[in-house]
Amino acid sequence: MTRIAIVQEPPVFLEREKTIEKAANWVRKAAVDGAELVVFSEAFIPGYPAWIWRLKPGGDWGLSEQLHARLVANAVQLETDQLRPLQEAAREMGVTVVCGVNERDSETSRATLYNTVLTIGPEGTLLNRHRKLMPTNPERMVWGFGDASGLKAVDTPLGRVGSLVCWENFMPLARYALFAQGVEIYIAPTYDSGDKWIRSLQHIAREGGCWVVGAGNILRISDLPPDFPDIERLYPDPEEWINQGDSVVISPAGEIVAGPLRQEVGVVWADMELAEAVAAKRSLDIVGHYARPDIFTLQINASPQRPVEFIETGRSAS
């Protein structure tokens, strides 16, 4: 039996260090209460750029640049030790952590952001980095396109864990890639919410014969920083929930076993029996006995995609 905790808490919005510290503290709290797997939502560090759904398409240029610059300055660079407090909390408590971050590319332009979900093992090591393959609609003005180098289900002491972010869960071939790798705990950090989204997750659980964890994004007007620009125009109702959460855990049979936690901060707890993921595939294993490789095959380019390659050649003697 595996005990999971979905932390449905707002970040310290647009403040990287404070949000990382908050996440690390929650990992410790959840572990004390028995959690072996602790999950945070999409872009938790330092927060989902919710303003993109309120700005005028192609307009509000100055405001967009102001907010984007702040997001870039507080994004995570994995080549640094910025995530060390969260990794140390995972190691100290011996738990696996899955957390969404705004990742700043440090390899080429050093300015592009990615919507990334990280899997940190109980030794504090980074087990996987998955960059969202297809940012949705206005998200494309914030994040670059990920590749399949992190489209993985990875081994953890709890079983095989894989993640897809928000609406890329609607991409059948991306789901199929995780199912083909034997994912047992399928984690969906998301900005989406509501009954339609939850029904989609129930379908995914039955389709893949796996546990599905929907980690919802929770955010209120009061969670925005006091100096958030033009807040009165973008969010005129101070009582508004920008996002209502809806974190949920669904069994391989498609049944909701915990949550959804709606318009409420807190932790969604669930106990998962991984043997149920095996039993669910007895009658339907879409990448096993229910597959038809003589008719359908999927080819995935899992190589890291880079826009530039530097080749050094030696000079010949004159």
Count of alpha carbons within 13 Å of 131, Cβ hemisphere only?
19
Helix (H) / strand (E) element for 64: namely helix 61-73
The answer on pLDDT for 316 being more than 90 is no
Strand ranges for the chain from DSSP E: 2-8, 37-39, 96-104, 113-120, 126-131, 153-156, 159-163, 185-190, 211-216, 218-220, 241-250, 256-262, 266-272
Q: What is the mean pLDDT of residues 55-60?
A: 76
pLDDT at 106: 84
Residues 6+ apart with CB under 8 A from 307: 108
The amino acid occupying position 224 is L
pLDDT at 78: 95
* Cβ atoms of 274 and 227 closer than 8 Å: no
The amino acid occupying position 67 is L
Residues 6+ apart with CB under 8 A from 232: none
By annotation, the residues acting in catalysis are: 42, 132, 166
Q: How far is CA 119 from CA 96, 161, 167, 235, in A?
A: 7, 8, 19, 33
pLDDT digits (tens, 9 = 90+) for 91-126: 999 999 999 999 999 888 889 999 999 999 999 999
pLDDT digits (tens, 9 = 90+) for 120-155: 999 999 999 999 999 999 999 999 999 999 999 999
pTM summary value? 0.93
Question: What is the residue extent of each domain of the chain?
Answer: 2-279
The pLDDT mean for the chain works out to 94
pLDDT digits (tens, 9 = 90+) for 248-289: 999 999 999 999 999 999 999 999 999 999 999 999 999 999
Residues 6+ apart with CB under 8 A from 196: none
The answer on pLDDT for 84 being more than 80 is yes
* Cβ atoms of 152 and 158 closer than 8 Å: no
Among 39-48, 178-187, 295-304, name the one with the lowest average pLDDT: 295-304
* Cβ atoms of 90 and 27 closer than 8 Å: yes
pLDDT band at 315 (very low <50, low <70, confident <90, very high): low
pLDDT at 310: 87
pLDDT at 108: 82
pLDDT band at 317 (very low <50, low <70, confident <90, very high): low
State the Cα–Cα distance between residues 83 and 72, nearest whole angstrom: 16
For the domain covering 2-279, report its CATH number.
Answer: 3.60.110.10
Buried b (16+ CB within 10 A) or exposed e, 193-226: beeebbebbbebbbbbbbbbbbbbbbbbbebbee
Pairing assessment for the beta strands 113-120 and 126-131 based on DSSP bridges: antiparallel
* Cβ atoms of 98 and 161 closer than 8 Å: yes
